[in-house]
Amino acid sequence: MLSKKLILGKNQEFFNRRIYSNTKSFNIRKDFDLFRQIRLVSISISSNIAEGFERNTDKEFIYFLYVARKHQLEKSVLNYIWRTI
């Protein structure tokens, strides 16, 4: 169980670092709210996976994975919007 937590944590850490490093180059003046939302949704993805992992049942874990997936789709839409404005 500990090794799964370690792997999950490292993946989340890598994902969030990548989002933050990619958004450093954004022109913040372009749209600060959109910039902020992209960063917040990346944190939500990791948080939901971690919360689901700590739940007691597989059903609850799967629910939080679906929520994380929804946030991933939101991030994709936000990235698309960012590129097109």
Rounded to an integer, what distance in angstroms lies between the CA atom of residue 23 and that of residue 2? 32
pLDDT attached to residue 56: 84
Most confident of 30-39, 59-68, 76-85: 59-68
Domain boundaries, the chain: 2-84
- Give the SS3 label for residue 20: helix
pTM metric for this prediction = 0.67
What would the pLDDT profile of 20-50 be if each residue is shown by its tens digit?
Answer: 666 666 665 567 788 788 888 888 888 888 8
The residue whose two tokens read 């670092």 is: 17
CB 45 within 8 A of CB 71: yes
Structure-block tokens of residue 36: 């902020």
Residue 70: Cβ within 10 Å count: 14
